[in-house]
Amino acid sequence: MNMKDRIQASFFSMRLVTALGLFLFIQGCSFFGGDEEEAFDQPAELVDFTPMLDVDRGWKTSIGKGHEGLDLMLRPDTDGETIYAASFDGNLIAIDMKTGKKLWRESFEMAFTAGPTYRNGILVLGTNDGELISIDSMTGEMIWTSEVSSEILAPVAIKDDSIFVRSVDGNLASYSVNDGSIQWTSSHDVPRLSLRGTSAPVVISNAVICGFDDGKITAYDLTDGSLLWETMLTPPGGRTEIEKVSDIDAPLVIFGNEVYAGSYQGALAALAIESGNIIWLTEASLYSGMDVDDDVVYASEADGTVRAFSRFTGREVWQKETLLHRYPSAPTIIGDAIVIGDLEGYLHWLSKEDGEILQRTSIGSDKITSSPLAIGDSIYVQTDGGNLFSVKAPDQSSR
């Protein structure tokens, strides 16, 4: 099958699963006894506000063909000076983060669906065909490719000589950085119904931790994959298969001695890294993700509600419905604000203190699925349309 046929086939199969995912996001559930008119909620209208921050658009560059409708979380990564970004149609670029100048660009006969992840001079990406790819970050040349058990939808984690990969069939596996050979693998059952997406593994000390579609968070030993601990975030509930969906697809966040995790139609929780014991747990429904600072956890819920919780108790600090049904990305903390993308290409700057709108800027009409990447005083945003933007972070002294 040539690249064109593979892309078309991938779009077809992905749209089927994505359609199911969007169906699961329906709020009101008129099919199960609610008001029929509430089944397909319209995105909240953008409200007027008084701008409190100055935001400057920087450079823009095209990566490749977009992935509208697939909700892929392709997200750029950096080595501190260069931004690396990939497109669904196999393009990979390196860009000077200050000027936007392309340092190199390579095209591959692959459909990238995860990454790139940068570490120690290499870039690692995943494809819809279950291929794990290692690329030289200086030249863009392929180092090796390895076969994985199924499609990869989340960025990999890299630690020392190992790459940790979560695939859609419920597997978490370790591969050699040197040649892509498999080191160990562990499996989780995948429920009959599941949202499209997977949680990315995270590495801390001697453990790799990952969330799974069965609602469990599991920690494995880095070297041999032996089980360290496993915690059920919330047992599946409800009477129907749809109501029982409780995937952990939102990226986990490690902060201090805790790991923060959220599930769809389930909960947001803080767990002790060493034991997996739940420190606090509160009802929530997460899909895109969260960000955490010294005191607060900021989360975008599946219905578009943005909430802030005490990092220590889980108590709600504030809640805003400004982005209701606008499919917000996970928030990214920068200065005194959190930045969130939405389905119409807007970036929303909300106050960390109370969630009030500080600024709003449009970077086009394409959906922003992946959370913005914050580096220094700028953020870098990849849209589902295949474009990469730099945006100058607000001057906090202007508040």
The domain segmentation of the chain, as residue ranges, is 3-398
Sign of CA dihedral 183, 106, 79, 250: negative
For position 9, what pLDDT does the model report? 44
Whether the pLDDT of residue 148 is over 70: the answer is yes
* Longest Cα–Cα distance in the chain: 57
Whether the pLDDT of residue 83 is over 80: the answer is yes
Q: Summarize pLDDT for 44-63 with one digit per residue, the tens.
A: 999 999 999 989 999 999 99
- Rounded to whole angstroms, the Cα distance separating 319 from 309 reads 9
Whether the pLDDT of residue 215 is over 50: the answer is yes
For position 38, what pLDDT does the model report? 45
- Averaged pLDDT, 102-115: 96
- Rounded to whole angstroms, the Cα distance separating 196 from 344 reads 21
Task: Return the higher-pLDDT residue of 66 and 71.
Answer: 66
Whether the pLDDT of residue 2 is over 70: the answer is no
Whether the pLDDT of residue 269 is over 90: the answer is yes
- Averaged pLDDT, 242-256: 90
- Averaged pLDDT, 88-117: 96
- Rounded to whole angstroms, the Cα distance separating 358 from 312 reads 26
**Which of the four pLDDT bands, split at 50, 70 and 90, describes residue 394?**
low
Whether the pLDDT of residue 225 is over 80: the answer is yes
**Which of the four pLDDT bands, split at 50, 70 and 90, describes residue 395?**
low
CB-side exposure of 115: number of CA atoms within 13 Å? 33
Average pLDDT, rounded, for the chain: 89
Q: Summarize pLDDT for 157-206 with one digit per residue, the tens.
A: 999 999 999 999 999 999 999 999 999 999 998 877 777 889 999 999 99
For position 40, what pLDDT does the model report? 62
Q: Is 315 exposed, middle or buried (0-12, 13-18, 19+ CB in 10 A)?
A: exposed
- Rounded to whole angstroms, the Cα distance separating 129 from 53 reads 44
For position 292, what pLDDT does the model report? 98
- Rounded to whole angstroms, the Cα distance separating 379 from 371 reads 10
Task: Return the higher-pLDDT residue of 355 and 192.
Answer: 355
**Which of the four pLDDT bands, split at 50, 70 and 90, describes residue 353?**
very high
Which superfamily is assigned to 3-398 in CATH?
YVTN repeat-like/Quinoprotein amine dehydrogenase (2.130.10.10)
Q: Summarize pLDDT for 320-331 with one digit per residue, the tens.
A: 999 999 999 999
